[in-house]
Amino acid sequence: MHVGLSLMTEPPFVAAAMPLLEAGEVEVVEWSFDTTWGSGPPAWLQGLLDHFGDNDRLLGHGVSWSMLSAEWTPRHQQWLDKLRVEVATNRYQHVSEHFGWMTAGRFSRGAPMPLPYTPQLVQMGQQRMLKLKEAAGVPIGLELLALAFNRRDVLEQGRFLDDLLRPVDGFLLLDVHNLYCQLHNFRFELSELLDSLPLQRVRQIHVSGGSWDGQFRRDTHDHAVPDEVIAVLEGALQRCPNVRAVIFERLGDTLADPTTHEPFRADFRRIAEVVHGG
Amino acid sequence: MEVDWAHVQAELLEIFWQCDTAAEVRAAAAAGQLGPEATQWLERSADKPLEVACKLVKRWGHRRE
């Protein structure tokens, strides 16, 4: 099992992460490839993608496909066409996307939204996963969503994900901060939520911090990783036998203040310690 | 019965774009044409997630005029 970073292009992220990269502490990297489609990744980042790709330590992550948008648009097809070019350019071990949907009608960008579990939506999602598998040419997976509208959405997300992943032998990307959001916002016990998920399918884990909106926990990737999320990581690792990579996520522009850089690195090292049993 | 989820999703994003509170979302949904399944789904929803959905759509959404 390897520990790594989700790469960001913002200069503050580079400044904060460089000591970890230079020291060889980052064992694997994840790149959200569709964030720079059009402009292309900066040269320094392409160098990292090449280095980690050549060492079988590069993971791909999509953020904008919107796999459960019911209306199939030219944008969806173009995204798959660009993915084919992306996987021919960079050597990804696997590619993941988000469960949920973000575009519809007049909206061409957004944030992942939940949907209720219904046979109609499962069937549509399974067709989308086949398209993703064909375009990616490497193992594909889906990330657990943070936002849910009600307790039933939370409890049924595992079944929904399993139904989508099973036909393509896909993997679950378990985001433990998203799990923490659901635990807190809908008052679940960790064991109850873990029991609802296809844990045998977990191949990758995300760890991040977030923020509070009143008493509601949000997955904003903008603050330090709280102790409670580290505890969720520890609990999840005990139940997930097939994890290959644990990735720390932090938005680059939230590291503009240089005093946040050392705490960022401390978060990374704490995660590495948990993963490697330190 | 088949649900027109493309229509429901488009309506939902418009509602989240225009509303700020769960009460506004529920009123708009009741006045709209979401259909019985999506309406029941929203009725089961807690208030705060609906409010957060409004914020998310305004923060990250890109709406064609």
Domain boundaries, chain B: 5-60
Q: Does A233 touch chain B (CB under 8 A)?
A: no
Token pair in block for residue A236: 């999840």
* Chain A residues with beta carbon closer than 8 angstroms to that of B14: 105-106
* 3-state SS assignment for residue A228: helix
Q: Would the pLDDT of B65 be above 90?
A: no
Nearest to B9 among A70, A148, A152 (CB): A70
Distance CA B65, CA B46 (A): 30
pTM over 0.90: yes
Q: Secondary structure of B3-46 in the HEC alphabet?
A: CCHHHHHHHHHHHHHHCCCHHHHHHHHHHCCCCHHHHHHHHHCC
The pLDDT, as a whole number, for residue B39 is 83
CA distance B59 to chain A (A): 8
Chain CA centroid to CA A256, Å: 23
* Chain B residues with beta carbon closer than 8 angstroms to that of A118: 3, 37
Chain CA centroid to CA A169, Å: 18
Residue position matching structure tokens 């939230």: A254
Nearest to A113 among B4, B37, B53 (CB): B53
End-to-end CA distance of chain A: 14
Q: Mind listing the domains of chain A with CATH numbers?
A: 2-275 (3.20.20.150)
- Burial status of residue B11 (CB atoms within 10 A of its CB: 0-12, 13-18, 19 or more): buried
pLDDT tens for chain A, 278 residues long, are 999 999 999 999 999 999 999 999 999 999 999 999 988 889 999 999 999 999 999 999 999 999 999 999 999 999 999 999 999 999 999 999 999 999 999 999 999 999 999 999 999 999 999 999 999 999 999 999 999 999 999 999 999 999 999 999 999 999 999 999 999 999 999 999 999 999 999 999 999 999 999 999 999 999 999 999 999 999 999 999 999 999 999 999 999 999 999 999 999 999 999 999 86
CA distance B49 to chain A (A): 5
CB A2 within 8 A of CB A28: yes
Q: Does A122 touch chain B (CB under 8 A)?
A: no
Asked whether the CA dihedral A192, A171, A101, B55 is positive or negative, the reply is positive
Q: Does B22 touch chain A (CB under 8 A)?
A: no
Residues 95-114 of A with CB under 8 A from B: 101-102, 104-111, 113
The pLDDT, as a whole number, for residue A59 is 98
pLDDT digits (tens, 9 = 90+) for B5-48: 999 999 899 999 999 999 999 888 888 777 777 788 888 899 99
Asked whether the CA dihedral A58, A64, A69, A75 is positive or negative, the reply is negative
